[in-house]
Structure 1
Amino acid sequence: MKRLYYRILILATVLTGATSCAEWLDVQPKTSVEQDDLFARESGFKDALTGFYLLMGTETLYAQDLTYYYLDMLAGRYESAPQIVDWTAIYAFDGNYQSTVNTIYSKIYNIIANINNFLYFVDAKRNVITTPHYYETMKGEALGLRAFLHFDLLRLFGPVYSENPDGKAVPYRKEFNNVATPILPAREVLDNCIADLLEAEKLLEGHDSEIFNYDDTADAFTEMRQMRMNLWAVRAMLARAYCYKGDSESKATALKYAKSVIESGKFTLANYNSITTAPVMPTEQIFALYIYDYYKIVDPVFVDASSSNILSAYQATVETWYETSSGGASDKRFQTFRNVSDNGRIKKVSQKYNQDYYSSSRDNYSGLNSQSLIRLAEMYYIAAECEPDPETAASYLNAVIVTRTGQNSSTQTKEFDQLDTRQIYGQVTGKTVRINELMKEYVKEFYGEGQLYFFYKRLNFKTFSNCPLPSEDMTAHYQMPLPNDEYTFGNNN
């Protein structure tokens, strides 16, 4: 095998195609540092960890496709987008969007490979990590990230878990080598995610600084922990993963973890009047990415695009989602859209990522250049889904709704877990009242964050509002196919 190198700050040992492929590429020597040199000092481990987040914050991953762009397109968020004419084509995972899907797969496994190499060296070279709490924090972060990334691979490339938990999903890579790893059933992938998260929790507890703002008196590596896989992000991920598992025991555990995050006092729901001035809701960010000069990525689709191509939905569609005819116009989430006229029709364009809203001052964190990956509102929604008592469950939903609308809310709890016969956004969904009330909140809350698609898939919505394939059963379209290279080079025939 060829000698492996690291780029300065960004780990760049990569696999060609799938992670099980045996061909490895060298990077250009002028931007490289040999890994033995990198991990010979504590600062090298810090640089390597920073590299994981930088790799995640690219356009093909969480700075675009896995948040407000491709995933939100799949969830029917938009009716206008750059260069898209046929919206049914976005579900052509083996056709028009094969390159997009394959790139997501290979890029995530590239980061996982680097994480696994880091995890080897963090133990092999533990003696060079001398600052108190650094070893536990670093290893806990890396394990939490490995679980986070595998979990998203499961949500993308695995089956609808509630329908087929034993269906083949993805490999779970735990070592940095060229040994092929078999594709695992979804259940085993999820169990591996949970095991990594539980180990990460043990490592981070008592060692994570838990500093969630700028702090000039602190070690720079320990401030702004929401920009790293911190202890509470790990616990939020455990809530997310156990909720995904979905059996009664797992839901009880998900509820426990969601409540622990809610009650931690580390994060607060956004103030009603702050939402329109800081739509990313920085006080709610449990885990986010810092993306340098984010405006260069988001402006071409949300700000500078022509009125015919700008990433948007029509006014009537957005007003339906936010229920403006029944008081929803006061919802601050709705008020964060701007109007664009296109041939006499009004389009609504999200301003969540317009960086002009956010200050660079270090007096208080504003959300500048950030992409949320886990927010506090989701913990309330998980609690509402997993809490067995309808009134208590509704109280978690209402707590969020009040902060968004400025009005007292009373979520319907009559026949809460019975089949809902109401039309929601013009459709009878076949779900319970509880799930439909949650669905409305996911639609309103996570615009531009990619979470709505995962919600629809997890609960196997046969269709949904503004579905790109309105006449088809979506169950058959939720699972992205693995790249051909996974079968060509992997132990997966």
Structure 2
Amino acid sequence: MKKYLHKISFLFLVSLTVVGCSDFLDVVPQDKILESQLYSSETGVQNVHNGLYLQLASNNLYGKQLTMDAVEILAQQYNIQSNHEKYTMASYNYAEKTPKATFTSIWETAFTTILSANKFLESIEEHAGVISAEKANMLKGEAIAIRAMLHFDMLRLYGPIYKVAPADPGIPYYDKYVTTINPILPANDVIAKVLADLDQALTLLANDPVLTTGKYTGSGAFGGNPYYSVNRGNRMNYLAVKCLKARVLLYSGDKTGASTIANEVINFTKSNTLFPWTAFLDATNAADPDRIFSSENFFALSDYTLYTKQKDLFDSSLEDRKIYSPLLSRINAVFESNDNDYRSLPSWKIPIVGGKTQKTFFKYEDVSDKTKVFRLQIPMFKLSEMYLIAAETSTVPATGISYLNTLRFNRGLGNLAATAVLATEVTKEYRKEFIGEGQLFFYYKRINSANIPNGAAASGNLTMNATQYVVPLPDSEINFQ
């Protein structure tokens, strides 16, 4: 815990440099004086709040490890042979140096960010009046939702297979800024706390402009202040929290609850034009392809180093022992050799340079037009997942297939046969839809799939159980329990 607190103090200092006010650098660096300076103006409050999103976009969280790197390796998305530098991770050898260091860093950064969110919530209460109650509710709702999301993903990664052992030990939960170690809770208690946080966030975000003006357009809300009314799609807005709640409910086995929330979001999108399906010509545009289907994203995280990561992980010039790339037969199997699927065509290509014979990943490649709103964005919650949840939780198979057909139609594919097996087709769509977004491993773990395709072989599966699905808690956590 002391390590986390030191990191938080450092992040506050970093926040000062972002504000750009040299006066802050002259104050006595005691915590309370520093905090008083930060929260003395609306700009300072916004700066600390925005720092939470900068932390989310760090390499150890959604900027890399929890989207396109570690959790995708665990899902066997890439061809990781024995000579690859991430082979021990792909083999689920969690005690080995590389995976152990990676998952320790993920854990520590996640809980540092959680404590930062709690410190923000505590401080904004202590300095009430610096911003209006309406604005404070918006910022508090986002911070609480961030806290819930991080706890949930730590539970999904380090907790038990919930379907099998919901009462087994999970993770600690921090809903206050404390300097003591919280006990590890049963997984179902963690889920209850996550859901309580999400309900509180939804109440605080009830007047979110995303519900009336969408993701990017400003409105007259909050006195027209753009921090609260513009670019809601880059923040944990009301609809993103709804999506997260549906995801949590499904993970916990509450299919009825998950179905209700997913259909609420779907019906909302049908009632207006704020979140339309991305058109084929937009997704496959030669110069500026919208590979992340941005119009459908309720929340996409801004990452200003995204294209550096694209080159570091997926560039065709990388050595085989470094590149994250699947075997050609595997990626063709995922998309069923159908390039009409426009999740395939713009994001997976055999490169013309680099000497690679397999398709490499272009999803996060930069585009020509630097003004495109979808640049530098990583999808976090999107419409397609709501259709997948609605399909999976449908009590009538034909209705579930209908949801999948809507998704497939908007990805350039035809309808499924009436005899299609719903569970099988849902799995197929998860494999297509979330590459580079970090959801497939968690899907496999949620359904407790006994076998998953072996990314390092042209065919065949890996046997999966708790040994592979449950990442051990870091020594730094176990030693202080």
Which TM-score band (shorter chain)? 0.7 to 0.9
SS at match of 2:68: coil
Supply the distance in 1 between the matched residues of 2:363 and 2:164 (Cα, whole angstroms). 34
Supply the distance in 2 between the matched residues of 1:293 and 1:484 (Cα, whole angstroms). 30
**Matching residue of 2:202:** 201
CA deviation digits over 1:133-181, x for unaligned, max 9? 3111011111111111111111101111111110111011011111221
The equivalent position to 1:287 in structure 2, one of 299, 318, 322, is 299
The equivalent position to 1:459 in structure 2, one of 447, 451, 455, is 447
Q: Is the 8 A contact 2:88 2:94 kept in 1?
A: no
C-alpha displacement of 1:474: 3.1
Supply the distance in 1 between the matched residues of 2:299 and 2:86 (Cα, whole angstroms). 34
1:52-451 matches, within 5 Å, as 52-80=52-80, 84=84, 87=87, 89-90=89-90, 91-96=92-97, 97-130=99-132, 133-208=134-209, 210=211, 211-215=214-218, 218-221=224-227, 222-260=229-267, 262-263=269-270, 265=272, 266-276=274-284, 277-303=289-315, 305-306=317-318, 308=320, 309-324=322-337, 328-336=338-346, 337-340=348-351, 346-356=357-367, 359-361=369-371, 365-405=372-412, 407-410=413-416, 412-414=417-419, 433-451=421-439
Letter of the aligned partner of 1:125 in structure 2? H
Q: Which has the higher helix share?
A: 2
Residues 11 and 169 (structure 1), Cα distance of their counterparts in 2 relative to 1, 3 Å cut:
farther
**Matching residue of 2:472:** 481
Supply the distance in 1 between the matched residues of 2:317 and 2:60 (Cα, whole angstroms). 19
C-alpha displacement of 1:47: 0.7
Residues 235 and 44 (structure 1), Cα distance of their counterparts in 2 relative to 1, 3 Å cut:
same
SS at match of 1:149: helix
CA deviation digits over 1:108-127, x for unaligned, max 9? 00000010011112222221
> How many pairs were matched up?
448
Supply the distance in 1 between the matched residues of 2:88 and 2:45 (Cα, whole angstroms). 45
Letter of the aligned partner of 2:343 in structure 1? R
C-alpha displacement of 1:360: 2.8
| Runs of at least 5 residues in structure 1 that lack an aligned partner in the other structure | 13-27, 417-432
Supply the distance in 2 between the matched residues of 1:133 and 1:289 (Cα, whole angstroms). 24
Q: Is the 8 A contact 2:210 2:238 kept in 1?
A: no
**Matching residue of 1:22:** none
Q: Is the 8 A contact 1:160 1:460 kept in 2?
A: yes
Q: Is the 8 A contact 2:239 2:265 kept in 1?
A: no
CA deviation digits over 1:176-225, x for unaligned, max 9? 11122110111111111111011110111124454412549853212111
Supply the distance in 2 between the matched residues of 1:178 and 1:156 (Cα, whole angstroms). 24
C-alpha displacement of 1:251: 3.8
C-alpha displacement of 1:65: 1.0
Please give the root-mean-square deviation of Cα atoms over the aligned residues, in Å: 3.0
Supply the distance in 2 between the matched residues of 1:263 and 1:37 (Cα, whole angstroms). 46
CA deviation digits over 1:60-114, x for unaligned, max 9? 2111111111111111111158972573543122213000000000000000001
Residues 413 and 87 (structure 1), Cα distance of their counterparts in 2 relative to 1, 3 Å cut:
farther
Farther-moved stretch of structure 1 (38-47 vs 280-289): 38-47
CA deviation digits over 1:459-488, x for unaligned, max 9? 011111225694533333101111112122
Supply the distance in 1 between the matched residues of 2:308 and 2:157 (Cα, whole angstroms). 27
Residues 263 and 179 (structure 1), Cα distance of their counterparts in 2 relative to 1, 3 Å cut:
farther
Supply the distance in 2 between the matched residues of 1:81 and 1:213 (Cα, whole angstroms). 43
Residues 264 and 155 (structure 1), Cα distance of their counterparts in 2 relative to 1, 3 Å cut:
farther
**Matching residue of 2:42:** 42
The equivalent position to 1:472 in structure 2, one of 435, 451, 463, is 463
Supply the distance in 1 between the matched residues of 2:265 and 2:226 (Cα, whole angstroms). 28
CA deviation digits over 1:14-59, x for unaligned, max 9? xxxxxxxxxxxxxx969x9811211222222211111011011112
Q: Is the 8 A contact 2:316 2:360 kept in 1?
A: no
TM-score normalised per structure 2: 0.85
Supply the distance in 1 between the matched residues of 2:139 and 2:396 (Cα, whole angstroms). 39
Supply the distance in 1 between the matched residues of 2:469 and 2:399 (Cα, whole angstroms). 32
Letter of the aligned partner of 1:352 in structure 2? K
Letter of the aligned partner of 2:185 in structure 1? L
C-alpha displacement of 1:7: 2.2
Residues 109 and 456 (structure 1), Cα distance of their counterparts in 2 relative to 1, 3 Å cut:
same
| Runs of at least 5 residues in structure 2 that lack an aligned partner in the other structure | 19-27
Supply the distance in 1 between the matched residues of 2:137 and 2:125 (Cα, whole angstroms). 10
Q: Is the 8 A contact 1:259 1:379 kept in 2?
A: yes
